[in-house]
């Protein structure tokens, strides 16, 4: 079973994407923002969902999204965390918890959570 870190707001109110970007730019030295990669992935998911005749509510979520992929690197830029910034969503962070811990990068998740006023959760996949 795989486990992943996710960040959710302490207040119940998600940050606006612009505010999340400001936090990242202000507090992290080594980061990369990639809107194109995130939008390409959303388009692929939309196609897949439509091909499956998925529920319109699920399709609407992807149609109304405007994601920006964010990579936060460690000091020597040899490893990174990855997550998407999107409307009304928390941050689901890759890679798996175990890998992040092995890379010694949990402090970056803790810093992001503190600056965003988000709590750290662990999500498990089966």
The model's pLDDT over 56-87, given as tens digits with 9 standing for 90+, comes to 888 887 788 889 999 999 999 999 999 999 98
DSSP the chain: -EEEEEEEESSS-PPPHHHHHHHHHHH-SSEEEEHHHHHHHHHHHHHHHHHTT--HHHHHHHHT---EEEEEE-TTSS-EEEEEE-TT--EEEBS-HHHHHHTT-HHHHHHHHHHHTEEEEEEEE-
Domain housing 23:
2-35+68-125
The model's pLDDT over 2-37, given as tens digits with 9 standing for 90+, comes to 999 999 999 999 999 999 999 999 999 999 999 898
- Looking at the 3D structure of the chain, how many domains does it have? 1
Q: Which residue has the tokens 């606006």?
A: 16
**Residue 81's domain is classified under what CATH number?**
3.30.310
Specify if 44 maps to a domain: no
pTM: 0.85
Specify if 60 maps to a domain: no
Specify if 76 maps to a domain: yes
């Amino acid at each position: 079973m795989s486990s992943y870190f996710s960040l959710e707001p302490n207040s119940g109110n998600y940050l606006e994407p612009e505010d999340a970007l400001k936090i990242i730019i202000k507090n992290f030295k080594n980061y990369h923002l990639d809107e194109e990669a995130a939008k390409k992935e959303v388009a692929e998911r939309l196609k897949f969902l439509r091909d499956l005749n998925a529920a319109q509510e699920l399709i609407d979520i992807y149609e109304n999204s405007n994601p920006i992929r964010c990579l936060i690197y460690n000091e020597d830029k040899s490893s990174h965390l990855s997550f998407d910034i999107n409307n009304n969503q928390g941050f689901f962070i890759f890679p798996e918890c175990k890998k992040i811990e092995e890379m010694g990068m949990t402090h970056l998740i803790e810093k992001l959570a503190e600056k965003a006023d988000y709590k750290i959760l662990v999500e498990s996949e089966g």
